[in-house]
Amino acid sequence: MKQYRAEYEKWLAAESLCPEMRAELLGIAGDEKEIEDRFYKPLSFGTAGLRGVMGAGINRMNTLVVAQATQALAEVILAEGGDAAKRGVAVGYDCRHNSESFARTAASVLAANGISVYIFDAMRPTPEVSFAILRYGCIAGVNITASHNPKEYNGYKAYWEEGAQIGPEQADAVEARIRNIDIFTGAKTCDFDAAVAEGKIRVLGRETDEEFLERVLSLSVYPAEVKKAADELKIVYTPFHGTGYKLVPEILSRLGFKHIICEPRQMVPDGDFPTVVSPNPENKEGFTDAIALAAKENVDLIIGTDPDADRVGIVIRDAAGNYVTLTGNQVGVLLLDYIIAAHKDLGTLPEKSAVVKSIVTTDMTRAVAEYNGVRCAECFTGFKFIAGRIADLAEEGYEYLLGFEESYGYLCGHHARDKDAVCASMLIAEMAAYWSNRGKTLYDAMQAAYEKYGHFAEKTVNIRMAGIDGFEKMQRIMKELHAQPPKALGDFAVLACEDYLTGKVTDAEGNVIGETEVTGSDVLIFRLSDGVRLAVRPSGTEPKMKVYALVQGPDAETVNRRCEAAASAAETLTREKERRYG
């Protein structure tokens, strides 16, 4: 009997399997492909925690998988010794189906292991979970969310005491323990309500929101600009049915904005996300209702946050009056330019200032930083790495102004160590007020930035690897690219290769000519002719390769053309290698 079939039969035979899951599994008894997909491997626990489609099976998100992972996390915490168990774990969750149930399961397992728990009384933005870890001195945190994934997904993010998601060391320790825990009988548990009554689980409410909002409000750079623009400036906001629905309008109101127009249907939390194809602020389609509302109300700025309110996207009106999206790169550059300008106006720019970005985030960041005498520090993709870089810079005496990555995540201040769409929404609105007071829209500000710092363009391509062996294909492709970097990509010559796994930078002939700023991740960046850089990396959570084209050039038309050509050449090369590996 094949392994996946044996695992399926094991689940059906388990006495403790709940009736709902048993019925679900019996319902697929004749679908061998579906059985294989659910049971061919367990969800892997990495630095991004767990993420998958909800349902019964080891390759699905369900209460058994959540309990098993939490038991493993509890054992890692207990192994720390000292007061780790007493310090406890902060637990939060988003608007998705089963999120509250999964959070209560996690809290019950932690409490049964003698670990103190702080759990929110309702859904909250991801950054507030990070805030709670720091505020209450917790050893760790758990957040039940699948961020901007489709409605069928849910996830489990684990955090450590710094407020950032766990690093490789803790993730590996959790993963190793998971494999030794029986999914049906291995997790300790207790009654949630009884644990609350006994003080083992503390429920967090409005008092934590107030402290979080106070800290975020203190990060406003130039509140006087909001006061000047408040009577005229209008903002449309949508939370895409998610957790931003309370705190984002609240922080904007407290800062002084008077005209915050919320898209009414999308203000209703709903794990089905009924008004959008995808609850992802990267996609303009999700803003359709908000754009219609903005047009009706004559509004220039639309802000949208994803379901767990850690990422934010914006839609603005261009010179012709059309509503257009800005990329995560463009918003990050605008924010950096604004924060620096505001501090300079006020005379408060720290002498040793820095910005932190991922290695696949726009090179325009460096141009803005260097022009203004600000250090630009790089790290790997993921806010746990941005958080680590912020800590490193602090030890060197630098105050960071902004940390961001191209995937619509931004962070300022020291209240949290994960991307924060509540704070970012506040600063975006404040930035709009600043430019409005100077007779400009954010579209005008973006065009002015290109004239000032140079023209840049970026494009990200996701290349999904089909089949169960998708992850293996990615590994084989990356191994080949590390060993034999291409000499050319389309019409672009490869001038150098930055290998972030080894830390070596080699020229076209393979000679070592330098070192990368950071090392230890499976990423390759090819420096191409015509001011093009092309990054390739495997996704850590899905079977897909991610390709990033980053271009600098003399004008918008040139950089956009080169960007499309470079991304297309990289996709062609990757697809050819995928076909070879069958």
Query: How open is the CA angle 514-516-522, to the nearest 5 degrees?
Result: 125
Residue 62 CA, chain-centre distance (Å), reads 22
- Is residue 16 flagged as an active site residue? no
Instruction: Give the 3-state secondary structure of 171-214.
Output: HHHHHHHHCCCCCCCCCCCCCHHHHHHCCCEEEECHHHHHHHHH
Please tell me the distance from the alpha carbon of residue 362 to that of residue 449, in angstroms, as a whole number.
Answer: 13
Please tell me the distance from the alpha carbon of residue 499 to that of residue 505, in angstroms, as a whole number.
Answer: 6
Mark residue 546 as left, alpha or beta (left: phi above 0; alpha: psi -120 to 50; beta: remaining). Answer: beta
All residues at 6 or more sequence positions from 89 whose CB lies less than 8 Å from its CB, including other chains: 73, 77, 110, 115, 116, 117, 118, 138, 139, 140, 141, 142
Which DSSP state fits 490? T
For residue 338, which amino acid is it? Y
Which residue is listed with tokens 């069958």? 582
Residue 208 CA, chain-centre distance (Å), reads 23
Please tell me the distance from the alpha carbon of residue 113 to that of residue 546, in angstroms, as a whole number.
Answer: 39
Catalytic residue among 147, 220, 436, 539: 147
Query: Do residues 435 and 442 make contact, with C-beta atoms less than 8 angstroms apart?
Result: yes
Please tell me the distance from the alpha carbon of residue 231 to that of residue 578, in angstroms, as a whole number.
Answer: 56
Q: Which of 347, 354, 335 is nearest to 394 (CA)?
A: 354
Strand 375-379 relative to strand 353-358, pairing: parallel
Tokens of 428: 């975006």
DSSP element (H, E) containing 337: helix 328-346
Query: Do residues 102 and 61 make contact, with C-beta atoms less than 8 angstroms apart?
Result: yes
Please give the positions annotated as active site. 147
